[in-house]
């Protein structure tokens, strides 16, 4: 007897006997009815403290485990570094942990941390820097002692520095191997300008010129309590923790808080730009223009609009058109990159085989136009709103994640009510709001298009396409005009002779 | 001063360990049908539940002839049910029965006719379709037609889609030597969806596409064993090391066996090992236990037990005093592995072996200090203790550097072993491992999903209680315990030694992009591709854009390797995706 029939048979008998077990179970999962998720976002104010010295602290105790997480978040990063020292911030961040302290060699430090079973890490990114500790609450005093030694008195050991420089240079050599890393650098240059800190790239010269004194200076400027917000989660008594922290920073000089990252008013000249790389079969395409900053009043409507256009993965229009209907690419997405301190940019990104770049580009532009000329459907809007609301709790999914949000919000001066009203504001977005922001913030006429790939194939397009409506070449964009961007030497970032592809 | 402080810290750590010995206390209950459940409510991750279940079955329960069937069954359980996965149940079942009958006829031809021809030397492979008899050719073409026609009634990956459209994520499963486990994350308010879906596939599985899935698993085996530089060597070493036990065959199975599963093998295996009395459900996260329990009772209560007789695993390893050596060549980084038989999971000596390997490993461990940093003869070196349900392995692996050879590393390893056998480890080394064990025992419980996987994995190996016992047992380990187990288990006469030597491959015949990579990258890329081979096409389509977006965060030196992997994945999607 076939197993399936025997089982349905049994179920049938059970059903006719009216057993309670099967009676309540719907036939299909779509018929299940779910309760709404009951979730109130946490308020930053409930977790915020100030030390007597003025340092801001966010604390979220939890006695689930005898572990404590302490994160020191410092304002400042690569934007504070001079052009000829590019890479200084990340080298400083990395060597604070690996390069020992004034009282301990790197090997001794490794051993002490391992013995205490603690994790300590330090780093410095583009706009913030950080140091964090995860330790057993039972030996927190010792672990915190070492952590403070790392943060306050780094040794910047010469041997460890040499190893780090060797590794960086080894990595640098491969910079031009992949279209994606060329795209990343050149698109940022296009959007923010060659001289902006966003577009700055380290070179062999800048990395090798970094001295111990440079690191000490950067360290002194960024890693001090005048520039610090602390986050603590895990197993501790809040009042005791405040005292412990105050004691830990005692005698540590308060410097001046660093300035905000600079804005860039660069506006890319609309047009087609390309980097010729003919050792790859695909063209990688990114098009975009500058846009607003993070907390612009239209921000939520923009997010909803973007999700429907191309931000929402498999449900988004771009993905449906370019991938599911046309099979031109395996992935396409759009994004409004909105940094906290300065206006960001809008982008659409995809890869497709060289000869179909123009066709895919035409279709992407059509989707952008459609977004502006017509209203989205009720179903599209609801799907996006539900997904925003359903995934909202994940923003605060753990205590460390929650504190991270609060600290970032404080650094960037976000409205404290932002999260409390977030879902209401998502729900309030209407179909006409979506069209209004599409018209305002999608600017096809101001778009710069950057393409990395085999330019000859890309320009020519799909000449052998039988369907004339699907035939496309780059001649149809900006009157066929295109500006070549030279590949740059990976170690110097100087432009290479323009004829060489790949 | 420092020493004093450290001793004080050690005492403090020890005290805290004892105070917190009991760390995991799941709520346990058993349904009338014998299915066990563990509930672990946890509010740290609001609104999320990790849920899963395990079948206490793995390749160790198989027999020659059907090796790999545990893993094959795992694949089949993603093929839908009488409700999920088809748009026309009647047509679907009709085709299913037809396929079953045709496959039975084909298999009996292979066994009755082709094996005879093979034994007489008339053909070189009884499974190779090139040698089909006329009758077989007819059956095969009819089967192909039926399988093709069936596709119109299949809703591909509906099982996955139902979950993902409701906000669930991370659906997956794995099969090991000792257990099979299925799991997913669902939003808290969707727990009933999980209960619906999982009890449906346990009571109502369709085994849809059981013929065509064969090809998928055979491809998977090829990817893992033949397309990775070390796959076929690893398989042989395992087989030799475990020679006297059911661990001697690979989880994926021997190739002939994969080709030859009969439909009845599959359903018999399912009926025996997926009986509710052999299953354990686990739920971790933000939920109300009594609500969840009543949903469980309602949905999983409908599974019926047949009280099957489960054959116990009787064979245990034997260790005659014969050293086994395997020397192999591959396009891979040169290395040496030294393996010793070791005790099974939850054996009292296992905890001592965990400490012993801990002392050897890590940046501040003995192997790094002596081989990597000190003599600079190793690029990497590590030791591990790998317990299974019915046995265990203790292993050293080292990758030589500079001019050093595998023989040099083997000798260096022997010196470390000698040291462990003759000199007590220092109190400080021991305490360091104890401290780390305590901290890690908490750190590993910080995510719902990892708690779920650990509870299931350890329960499948022989008892989740290990999670509570292990930190306590480890605190009790003394230097003389370590000397005793070193003398007991590091026994030359019964060890297995394997060397992998980099073979100078002809790069000119290789894909130029592969040839341009370092052998280490080549090996990694091929391993990754092999892993991805286990994903379905639809899963692959979903992860590809995510992988693509990670491109910018790949370290520059690995960029080319990353891109190559991406390209290969795209090719596969292109080839199979339509």
Domain coordinates in residue numbering, chain B? 40-86+157-305, 87-153, 324-502, 507-576
Q: What is the pLDDT of residue A157?
A: 96
Residue of B nearest to A235 (CA): B442
Neighbours of A284 (CB within 10 A): 24
Q: What is the ipTM of this complex?
A: 0.78
Three-state secondary structure call for residue A201: coil
For A197-206, what is each residue's pLDDT tens digit?
999 999 999 9
CATH class of A271-484: alpha beta
Average pLDDT, chain B: 88
* Number of Cβ atoms within 10 Å of the Cβ of A162: 10
Task: Return d(Cα A24, Cα A82) in angstroms, integer.
Answer: 69
Given this model, what pLDDT does residue A370 score?
98
pLDDT of residue B551: 62
Residue A133, phi then psi, degrees to nearest 5? -130, 135
**CA-based nearest distance B394→chain A, Å:** 24
Q: Do A5 and B431 touch (CB under 8 A)?
A: no
Residue A476 reports pLDDT greater than 70: yes
Smallest Cα distance from B292 to chain A, Å: 14
Q: Report the DSSP pairing between strands A128-136 and A119-124.
A: antiparallel
What is the average pLDDT across A232-243? 97
Q: Does B203 touch chain A (CB under 8 A)?
A: yes
Q: In this complex, do A114 and B47 lie within 8 Å of one another by their Cβ atoms?
A: no
Alpha carbon of B545: minimum distance to chain A alpha carbons (Å) = 5
Residue B128 CB neighbours (<10 A)? 11
List Cα–Cα distances, A77 to A82, A97, A160, B177, B505, in angstroms: 11, 17, 22, 49, 46
Give domain B324-502's CATH number out of 3.30.2420.10, 3.30.499.10, 3.30.830.10, 2.40.30.110. 3.30.830.10
Interface contact A114-B445, CB threshold 8 A: no
3-state secondary structure B528-567: HHHHHCCCCHHHHHHHHHHHHHHHHHCCHHHHHHHHHHHH
Which candidate from A2, A10, A11 shows the least CB-CB separation from B97? A2
State the span(s) of chain A assigned CATH 3.30.830.10.
44-249, 271-484
Residue B140, min C-alpha distance to chain A (Å): 22
| Interface check B570 vs A, CB under 8 A | yes
pLDDT at A502: 42
User: Which residues 549-568 of B have a C-beta within 8 angstroms of A?
Assistant: 549, 551-552, 554-560, 562-563
Return the number of CB contacts < 8 Å for A and B.
181
pLDDT (tens digit per residue) in A427-471 = 999 999 999 999 999 999 999 999 999 999 999 999 999 999 999
**Is B29 near chain A, with CB under 8 Å?**
no
In the structure, what pLDDT confidence band is assigned to residue B533 with cuts at 50, 70 and 90? Answer: low
Residues 6+ apart with CB under 8 A from B437: B354, B355, B358, B470, B471, B474, B475
Q: Is the pLDDT of residue B143 over 90?
A: yes
CB contact under 8 A, A66 and B442: yes
Chain B's closest residue to A401, CA to CA, is B45
Q: Which pLDDT belongs to residue A379?
A: 87
CA torsion, points B399, B400, B401, B404, in degrees to nearest 10? 180
Residue A169 pairs with which residues in a beta bridge? none
Tell me if B435 and A331 make a contact (CB, 8 A cut-off).
no
DSSP for residue B45: S
pLDDT over 60 at B1, yes or no: no
Res. B2: pLDDT tops 50:
no
What's chain A's average pLDDT? 91
Per the document, the length of chain A is 502
Taking an 8 Å cut-off on Cβ atoms, the answer to whether B188 and A37 are in contact is: yes
CA distance A8 to chain B (A): 8
Q: Which pLDDT band, with edges at 50, 70 and 90, does A10 fall under? A: very low
A20 contacts in B (CB within 8 Å)?
298
**Rounded Cα–Cα distance for residues A321 and A360 (Å):** 9
Q: Where are the alpha helices (DSSP H) in A345-467?
A: 357-373, 378-391, 399-412, 422-428, 431-441, 455-460
Contact B436 A117 (CB under 8 A): yes
3-state secondary structure of B61: helix
Chain A residues with CB-CB distance to B544 below 8 A: 330-331
Interface of B with A in 32-71 (CB under 8 A): 42, 44-48
Cβ separation A32–B193 shorter than 8 A: yes
- B residues 401-440 lying closer than 8 A (beta carbon) to A: 428, 431-432, 435-436, 438-440
Q: Residue A221: which pLDDT band, with cuts at 50, 70 and 90?
A: very high
Distance in angstroms (rounded) separating the CA atoms of residues B275 and B280? 11
* B203–A24 C-beta distance less than 8 A: no
CATH class as words, domain A44-249? alpha beta
Interface contact B551-A62, CB threshold 8 A:
no
CB contact under 8 A, A115 and B6: yes
Q: How far apart are CA A488 and CA A442, in angstroms?
A: 31
Decide if pLDDT at B3 tops 50: no
> Who has greater pLDDT, B552 or A481?
A481
Q: How far is B348 from chain A (nearest CA, A)?
A: 24
Cα separation of B466 and B457, whole Å?
A: 11
Look at the domain B40-86+157-305 and name its fold: Cytochrome Bc1 Complex; Chain A, domain 1 (3.30.830)
The 3-state DSSP class for residue B139 equals helix
In angstroms, rounded to a whole number, what is the distance separating the alpha carbons of residues A2 and A5? 6
CA distance A212 to A156: 7
pLDDT at A16: 35
- Whether residue B503 is predicted with pLDDT greater than 60 in this model: the reply is yes
Min distance B211 CA to chain A CA atoms (Å): 16
Q: Using CA atoms, how far apart are residues A247 and A317, in angstroms rounded to an integer?
A: 56
Contact B9 A394 (CB under 8 A): no
Q: Minimal CA–CA distance to B357: which of B499, B469, B497, B474?
A: B474
Residue B4 pLDDT level (bands cut at 50, 70, 90): very low
Which of A269, A296, A298 lies closest to A438 in space, CA to CA? A298
**Contact between A66 and B16 (Cβ < 8 Å):** yes
Does pLDDT of A6 surpass 70?
no
Region label for A251, one of left (φ > 0), alpha (ψ between -120 and 50) or beta (otherwise): left
A170: chain B residues, CB-CB within 8 Å: 557
| Residue B307 burial (10 A CB sphere; 0-12, 13-18, 19+) | exposed
Check CB contact under 8 Å for A21 and B298. yes
Closest CA in chain A for residue B302: A21
* A67 CA: distance to closest CA in chain B (Å): 8
């Amino acid at each position: 007897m076939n197993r399936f029939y025997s089982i349905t048979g049994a179920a049938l008998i059970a059903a006719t006997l009216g057993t309670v077990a099967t009676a309540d179970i719907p036939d299909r999962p779509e018929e299940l009815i779910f309760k709404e998720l009951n979730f109130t976002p946490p308020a930053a104010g409930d977790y915020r403290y100030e030390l007597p010295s003025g340092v801001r602290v966010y604390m979220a105790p939890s006695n689930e485990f005898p572990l404590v997480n302490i994160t020191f978040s410092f304002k400042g990063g690569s934007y504070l570094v001079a052009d000829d020292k590019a890479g200084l911030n990340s080298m400083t961040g990395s060597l604070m942990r690996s390069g020992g302290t004034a009282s301990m060699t790197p090997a001794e430090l490794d051993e002490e941390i391992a013995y205490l079973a603690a994790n300590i890490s330090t780093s410095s990114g583009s706009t913030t820097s950080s140091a964090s500790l995860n330790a057993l609450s039972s030996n927190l005093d010792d672990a915190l002692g070492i952590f403070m030694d790392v943060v306050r008195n780094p040794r910047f050991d010469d041997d460890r520095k040499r190893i780090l420089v060797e590794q960086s240079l080894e990595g640098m050599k491969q910079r031009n191997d992949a279209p994606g890393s060329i795209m990343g650098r050149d698109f940022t240059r296009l959007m923010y300008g060659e001289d902006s800190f966003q577009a700055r790239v380290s070179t062999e010269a800048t990395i090798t010129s970094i001295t111990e004194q440079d690191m000490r200076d950067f360290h002194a400027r960024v890693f001090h309590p005048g520039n610090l917000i602390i986050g603590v989660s895990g197993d501790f008594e809040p009042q005791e923790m405040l005292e412990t922290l105050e004691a830990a920073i005692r005698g540590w000089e308060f410097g001046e808080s660093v300035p905000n990252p600079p804005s860039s008013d660069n506006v890319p000249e609309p047009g087609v730009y390309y980097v010729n790389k003919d050792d790859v079969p695909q063209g990688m395409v990114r098009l975009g223009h500058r846009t607003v900053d993070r907390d612009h009043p239209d921000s939520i409507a923009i997010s909803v609009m973007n999700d429907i256009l191309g931000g929402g993965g498999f449900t988004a229009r771009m993905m449906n058109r370019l991938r599911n209907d046309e099979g031109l690419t395996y992935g396409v997405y759009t994004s409004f990159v909105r940094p906290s301190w300065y206006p960001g940019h809008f982008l659409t990104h995809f890869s497709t085989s060289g000869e179909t770049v123009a066709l895919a580009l035409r279709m992407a532009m059509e989707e952008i136009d459609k977004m502006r000329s017509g209203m989205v459907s009720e179903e599209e809007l609801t799907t996006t709103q539900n997904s925003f609301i359903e995934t909202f709790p994940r923003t605060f999914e753990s205590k460390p994640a929650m504190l991270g949000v609060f600290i970032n919000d404080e650094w960037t001066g976000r409205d404290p009510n932002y999260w409390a009203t977030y879902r209401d504001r998502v729900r309030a977005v209407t179909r006409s709001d979506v069209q209004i922001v599409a018209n305002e913030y999608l600017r096809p006429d101001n778009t710069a298009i950057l393409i990395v790939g085999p330019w000859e194939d890309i320009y020519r397009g799909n000449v052998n396409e039988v369907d004339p409506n699907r035939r496309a070449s780059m001649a149809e964009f900006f009157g066929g005009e295109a500006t070549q961007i030279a590949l740059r030497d990976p170690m110097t970032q100087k432009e290479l002779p323009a004829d060489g592809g790949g | 001063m420092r020493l004093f402080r450290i001793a004080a810290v050690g005492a403090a750590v020890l005290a805290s360990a004892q105070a917190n010995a009991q760390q995991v206390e799941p709520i346990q209950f058993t349904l009338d049908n014998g299915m066990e459940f563990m509930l672990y409510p946890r509010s740290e991750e609001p609104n999320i539940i990790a849920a899963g279940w395990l079948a206490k079955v793995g390749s160790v329960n198989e027999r020659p002839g059907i090796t790999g069937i545990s893993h094959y069954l795992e694949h089949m359980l993603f093929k839908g049910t009488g409700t999920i996965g088809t748009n026309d149940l009647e047509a679907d079942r009709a085709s299913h029965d037809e396929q079953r009958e045709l496959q039975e006829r084909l298999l009996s031809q292979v066994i009755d006719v082709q094996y005879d021809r093979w034994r007489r030397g008339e053909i070189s492979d009884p499974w190779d379709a090139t040698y089909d008899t006329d009758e077989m050719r007819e059956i095969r073409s009819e089967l192909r037609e039926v399988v093709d026609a069936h596709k119109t009634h299949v809703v591909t990956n509906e099982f996955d889609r139902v979950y993902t459209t409701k906000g669930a994520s991370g659906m997956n499963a794995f099969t090991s030597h000792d257990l099979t486990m299925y799991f997913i994350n669902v939003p808290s308010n969707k727990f009933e969806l999980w209960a619906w879906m999982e009890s449906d596939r346990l009571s109502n599985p369709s085994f849809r596409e059981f013929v065509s899935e064969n090809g998928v698993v055979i491809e998977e085996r090829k990817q893992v064993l033949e397309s990775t530089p070390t796959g076929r060597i690893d398989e042989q070493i395992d087989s030799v090391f475990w020679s006297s036990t059911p661990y001697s065959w690979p989880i994926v199975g021997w190739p002939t066996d994969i080709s030859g599963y009969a439909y009845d093998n599959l359903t018999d295996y399912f009926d025996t090992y997926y009986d509710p009395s052999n299953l354990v459900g686990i739920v971790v996260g933000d939920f109300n236990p009594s609500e969840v329990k009543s949903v469980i009772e309602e949905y999983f209560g409908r599974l019926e037990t047949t009280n099957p007789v489960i054959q116990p695993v009787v064979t245990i390893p034997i260790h005659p005093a014969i050293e086994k050596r395997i020397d192999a060549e591959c396009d891979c980084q040169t290395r040496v592995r030294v393996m010793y038989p070791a005790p099974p999971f939850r054996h009292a000596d296992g905890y001592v072996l965990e400490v012993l390997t801990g002392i050897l490993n890590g940046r501040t461990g003995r192997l790094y200090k002596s081989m990597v940093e000190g003599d600079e003869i190793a690029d990497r070196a590590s030791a591990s203790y790998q317990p299974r349900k019915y046995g265990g392995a203790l292993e050293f692996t080292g990758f030589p550097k500079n001019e050093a050879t595998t023989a040099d590393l083997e000798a260096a390893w022997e010196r470390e072993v000698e040291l462990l056998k003759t000199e007590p480890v220092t109190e400080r080394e021991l305490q360091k491992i104890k401290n780390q064990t305590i901290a890690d025992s908490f750190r590993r419980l910080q995510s719902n999903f990892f708690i779920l996987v650990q509870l299931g994995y350890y329960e499948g190996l022989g008892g989740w209680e290990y999670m509570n016992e292990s930190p306590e047992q480890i605190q009790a380990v003394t230097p003389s315990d370590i000397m005793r187990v070193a003398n007991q288990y590091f026994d030359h006469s019964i060890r297995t030694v394997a060397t992998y030597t980099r073979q100078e491959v002809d790069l000119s015949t290789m894909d130029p992009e592969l040839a341009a990579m370092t052998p280490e990258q080549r090996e990694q890329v091929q391993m990754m591709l092999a892993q991805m081979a286990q994903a379905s096409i639809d899963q692959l389509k979903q992860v590809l854009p995510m992988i693509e977006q990670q491109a910018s965060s790949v370290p520059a030196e690995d960029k080319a390797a990353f891109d190559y992997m991406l390209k290969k994945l795209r090719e596969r999607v292109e080839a199979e995706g339509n």
